[in-house]
Amino acid sequence: MKVQIQVLDVDYDMLNNRPIVRIFGKDRNGKTYCVCATDLLPYFYIKTTNPKRIEEELRSRFGGEIEKTEIVERYLPIGYSDKIELLKVTTRTPSKVPEIRDYIKDKVDDIYEADILFKYRYMVDRSITGMGWIEVEGNPLRTDTIRCATIEARSITPIENDENVPLRILALDIEVKTPQERIPSADKDPIIMIALAYSEPFRGRENDVLVAKSVPGDVISCTSEEEMLEKLKDIIESYDPDIITGYNINNFDMPYIIQRMQHLNLKRDLGRVVDKTVFCQTFGPQTKTNITGRVIVDSYRIVKKEYSFKNYTLNTVAKDLLGEEKEDVSYKEINGLWEDRNEIHRLISYARKDSILALKLITEKKPLDKYIALCRVSGVLLQDVLDGGESIRIENLLLSEFNKKGFVLPLKPGREEIIKRSKEREKEGIKGGLVLEPNPGLYADGCVMVMDFKSLYPSIIRTFNICPTTLLTRDLDVEYNESPAGARFVKSSVREGIIPRILSGLIDGRSTVKKRMYQEKDPEKRRLLDAKQYAFKIMANAFYGYCGYMKARTYNIHVANAITSYGRHLIQKTADKIRNEYGLEIIYGDTDSVMVKYPSKNLDEVYEVGTRIAKEITDSLPGVLELEFEKIFRSFLILAKKRYAGWAFEKHNGEWSDKIEMKGIETVRRDWCDLVTNTMNAVIDMIIKEGDVNRAISFVQEKIEQIRKREVPLKELSVTKSITKSLESYDGVLPHIEAAKKMRMRDPSNPPTRGDRISFVIVEGNQMLSKRAETIEYVKEKNLKTDTDYYINNQLLPPIERIFAVLGVSRDELLGKGRQTSLSDIMGNRRPERNHDLSIEMSPREVVVKNPTGFICSECNRDFRRVTLTGRCECGGEIYASGQGFIGKYVEI
DNA sequence: GCTACTCGGGG
DNA sequence: GTGTACGAGTAGC
């Protein structure tokens, strides 16, 4: 028979003392297969001057475990040199390789590739990638261990196919008997409910709730926890999901379920095989669960990686991303609801909703596209792309490419090696990119052109052929490039480096995909292409970091330093050239970008000049190095190195689009109240977009006044922090803990506990700050006075002051003490000497309002500070710009 | 500016 | 499982 499947998971098992690789995948119709292959044995390489003796030692020590040994010719991975003879040792049991490796380690010069997981050894040798497609020919195989159609492979061929098979997803959420004042623990507290949500209807249902007692209604009643867990296993087996998801499933639900199963002596076979039981690995607070043939996706972890929020409770995240909230149940109520026949349904629908939300985060936001694309580019399995970091992806590509070109890959460094590396690093140092010293201030006259090197580090690596395999470690009569830091690399005409070669493939791959993406009309396919080009980019950019990563297989400080030294050299030369040959001022630059002042406000003109300069400079650069005209800052506020904000204009297919861009200026921080965040955003907006520093000053003054008069809603002043341990175990004095202790004192029957989030405000008094923290409710109830001084001087002013300082506005002035604050200032009238002309000129269009100071609805005359996103008022009227005594049509460009 | 330590999410 | 492992943010030097 012959099938084409997309690879979901790979593992191996032992059969008759030989490994049998099992590839799990799905065909286009969604049918699951397991492909078994026995055509590879584990192997690794040894560098030694006495292979005969080593061979004898291995055979006498490990006997039949050594399948064969042979002398092969390979290139060594570090340093340019010819092929040398290595001893290739082939064994039988993958899990015994570490023992062999450690036994022989001190008797030989070096060992290579003796720490490659066997599934990846197989995949790399057969060019199989995670989530890639293969065509399999072979015979059906009957087994009593594998739970899907099994094929004994005769041949496995990787095939090109961009499709992704629809994945069947199961989301689960457990509820646990929750004692007061203690976190549930799996050895004592049973699971009472398991909610399941299905991405494809299962037996006609979208979701189910298993309940460990008999209850009427739309639930699956069980007589015990044990029966409920058995039912869970049945459902997983029949529904047969590819993906199991849940919110924080990695650190709570999965380990808990597994520990309960262990506790109750149930067999933990949740995967697509019966012989391998699920196990959890715990390292510190992190746990990782592996289920053969399926993939565990933690939607919490994904959301945390992909989105930036102040906190990541399921409720907050779902509200923002899905527009839905959790059912309103506090964990403290769980026991009560569970015991109460009339209330248990609240708990049931709460659990049901949680599982639905966890599922929707995956099915609606489709975050897996990117991860699947990363699998296909790197070759790594989906589970490992989700759990692992950058290094596993890089290493998989390296192994594949090294082997193809006849190189062996080094082992991961051991403890001693890492110590050696860090000592060398201390001595030699590792330098990063060049950051040009900025002159802080607001640049609003004319424009700021931003030019940057397109993928600077990958381009440097390709252009100068930088790679451990091209590094010259001794004098040889070959052509080479010498980096500004002194390291030498043979030219690509002598030998193309492996990393430069991989990078060329990634970068060419990306531009091909991007071209296809621009032509693609179908939004679904477009999204997949976008994920793919993104994966190429991520991978390309990760190589530089890997070269300087101390735990890298191919770590070499000279390689890492060569890359950045070229970067510093290039950015400096470029800045000099723009200054000297074009007579333009360089305002700032960081690693791969320069910001150039240009005396015009005409976007199209600036675009044209900038593009020309970038092209001329590119023409003078060697290799694939390319300076790109990136965007225009219509106004640009720089506070210091790496801290700036700008009103950026970018041209896409001839159309300008604009946005505020901020780097290093934080407006959102956990320990700032909303008042600070909102004021910061408004102030930056006024300065950057409206160019109106005076208005921003007045705005801050107004806010200060509002704080003084206690007109600011308490909610805007509150900061929320969590209790992370028992209240007694805090050494220091923290405001939210003090507030929590007071809550406990006032209502001992319902004390706040670990995990609770406390929102507090600071009230007046002469105790230390933390002691003056109170909850909003209490402040309202007792009509306490907030500490206005604290909110002005400790919350609002510090970040605001940093911005105004570079504009020459002092703290006193913001407080209304310095310059006289006239009525007209407060009314928002402009002070001419500090106002910047931000009127916009556009070549093709002409509707312009000079200095719009505000916006107004043409229908109901409602005032707006900014033009609304839709360009319309709530009443439906069009938004016009107002300023300098007239009202005109505003054109968003 | 750097490194060491903390803590998240779940019930 | 040919394992040894998160990451952002803050405190403290």
- Residues A650-661 pLDDT 10s: 998 889 999 888
Q: Measuring from the CA of residue A355 to each C1', which nucleotide is nearest?
A: B10
Enumerate the H helices of A76-212 as residue ranges.
Answer: 97-104, 118-125
Give the pLDDT band of residue A834 (cuts 50, 70, 90). Answer: very low
Q: Which amino acid, A368? A: L
Q: Please report, rounded to whole angstroms, the spatial distance between the CA atom of protein residue A418 and the C1' atom of nucleotide B4.
A: 19
Instruction: Give residue-wise pLDDT tens across range A184-217.
Output: 888 889 999 999 999 999 999 999 999 999 999 9
Q: Which nucleotide is nearest to A754 (CA to C1')?
A: B11
Amino acid A732: pLDDT: 63
What string of DSSP letters covers A502-533? HHHHHHHHHHHHHHHHHH---HHHHHHHHHHH
Q: pLDDT value at position A892?
A: 32
End-to-end, the C-alpha distance of chain A in Å comes to: 60
Nucleic strand C interface residues, CB < 7 Å? A 11-12, 19, 42-44, 94-95, 97-98, 101, 113-119, 121, 279, 281, 283-286, 290, 305, 308, 389, 412, 551, 669-671, 732
Average pLDDT of span A732-743: 79
Task: For residue A98, give the nucleotide whose C1' atom is nearest its CA.
Answer: C2
pLDDT at residue A38 above 60?
yes
Q: Count of alpha carbons within 13 Å of A828, Cβ hemisphere only? A: 12
pLDDT at A46: 97
Instruction: Give the residue with minimal CA–C1' separation from C11.
Output: A732
Q: What SS3 state is found at A40?
A: coil
The reply to whether A724 Cβ lies less than 7 angstroms from strand B is yes
The stretch A730-734 carries a mean pLDDT of 67
pLDDT (tens digit per residue) in A132-158: 999 999 999 999 999 999 999 999 999
Question: Measured in angstroms, what separates residue A108's CA from nucleotide C13's C1'?
Answer: 44
| Nucleotides of strand C under 7 angstroms from a protein beta carbon | 1-7, 9-10, 12
Confidence of residue A864 (pLDDT cuts 50, 70, 90): low
Phi–psi pair at A274, nearest 5 degrees = -95, -20
pLDDT at A886 over 50: no
Q: Which residue has the higher pLDDT, A824 or A453?
A: A453
Q: Where are the beta strands (DSSP E) in A123-234?
A: 133-140, 149-159, 169-176, 191-202, 205-211, 220-221
- Cα separation, A214 vs A344, in Å, equals 11
Q: Give the CA A424 to C1' C6 distance in Å.
A: 27
pLDDT band of residue A331 (cuts 50, 70, 90) is: confident
Evaluate whether A102 touches A114 at the Cβ level (below 8 Å).
no
Residue A96 has pLDDT above 90, yes or no: yes
Residue whose Cα is closest to the C1' of C9: A670
Q: What is the pLDDT of residue A873?
A: 57
Q: Which residue minimizes Cα–C1' distance to C2? A: A115
Q: What is the pLDDT of residues A260-292, one digit of tens each?
A: 999 999 998 899 999 888 877 776 667 888 899
Residues A755-806 have pLDDT tens digits of 677 788 888 888 877 788 888 888 889 999 988 988 888 888 888 888 888 8
Distance between CA atoms of residues A206 and A804, nearest Å: 55
pLDDT band at A838 (very low <50, low <70, confident <90, very high): very low
Q: Name the more confident of A740 and A302.
A: A302
pLDDT at A718 over 50: yes
Give chain A residues 733-772 with Cβ within 7 A of strand B: 753-756
Protein residue minimizing CA–C1' distance to B10: A252
For strand B, the positions having any atom within 7 A of a protein Cβ are: 6-11
Instruction: Answer with the residue of higher pLDDT: A881 or A811.
Output: A811
Q: Residue A384's pLDDT is what?
A: 93
- Spatial strand order in the sheet of A66-74: A66-74, A84-91, A43-47, A110-112
pLDDT bin (cut points 50, 70, 90) of residue A730 is: low
- Estimate in Å the CA A296 to C1' B9 gap, whole number: 16
Phi-psi region of A692 (alpha: psi -120 to 50; beta: other; left: phi over 0): beta
Query: With 90 as the cut, is the pLDDT of residue A593 above it?
Result: yes
Asked if pLDDT for residue A832 goes beyond 80, the answer is no
Q: Residue A833: what pLDDT?
A: 34
CB-strand contact A346/B, under 7 Å: no
Nearest nucleotide from residue A122 CA, by C1' atom: C2
Across all strands, nucleotide nearest A115 (CA–C1'): C2
| A309 nearest nt, CA–C1' | C8
- With cut-offs at 50, 70 and 90, classify the pLDDT of residue A431: confident
Task: Give the model's pLDDT for residue A884.
Answer: 38
- What is the percentage of chain A residues whose pLDDT exceeds 90? 64
Q: What is the pLDDT of residues A440-451, one digit of tens each?
A: 899 998 999 999
Q: Which residue has the higher pLDDT, A311 or A245?
A: A245
A239 CB below 7 A from strand B atoms: no
Q: What nucleotide is nearest A184 when CA is compared to C1'?
A: B11
What is the pairing mode between strands A243-246 and A169-176? parallel
A18: confidence class by pLDDT, cuts 50, 70, 90: very high
By the 8 A CB rule, do A158 and A127 touch?
Answer: yes
CA distance A866 to A688: 12
- Please state which of the ranges A61-70, A210-219, A451-460, A781-790 shows the lowest mean pLDDT: A781-790
Return the exposure string of A669-689: e unless at least 16 CB atoms fall within 10 Å of the residue's CB, then b: eeebbbbbbebbebbbbbbbb
Which nucleotide lies nearest residue A301, CA to C1'? B9
Mean pLDDT, chain A, rounded, equals: 88
Helix (H) or strand (E) holding A178: none
Strands A220-221 and A205-211: parallel
**CA atom of A389 to C1′ atom of C8, Å:** 15
User: pLDDT higher for A642 or A234?
Assistant: A234
Residues whose CB falls within 8 Å of the CB of residue A367, separated by 6 or more in sequence, listed in order: A302, A303, A306, A361
Total residue count of chain A as it appears in this document: 893
pLDDT of A837: 36
Å separating the CA of residue A801 from the C1' of nucleotide C12: 25
A480 beta carbon to strand B: under 7 Å? no
Instruction: Answer yes or no: is A348 CB < 7 A from strand B.
Output: no
Q: What CA–CA distance (Å, rounded) separates A690 from A540?
A: 39
Question: What long-range pairs does A816-819 form, CB within 8 A, spacing at least 24?
Answer: A816/A701, A816/A704
Q: Is pLDDT at A550 greater than 60 in this prediction?
A: yes
Specify which residue's alpha carbon is closest to the C1' of nucleotide B6: A724
Report the distance from CA of residue A220 to the C1' of nucleotide B11 in Å, as an integer: 21
Cα–Cα distance measured from residue A19 to residue A40, given in angstroms and rounded to the nearest whole number: 8
Distances (CA, A) of A792 to A685, A719, A785, A816: 20, 15, 14, 13
Least confident window among A247-256, A582-591, A699-708, A850-859: A850-859
Give the predicted TM-score (pTM) of the model: 0.85
Element (H, E) at A587: strand A586-590
Closest residue to B7 measured CA to C1′: A724
Any residues with CB less than 8 A from the CB of A128 and at least 6 apart, and which?
Answer: A7, A10, A23, A122, A134, A156, A158, A379
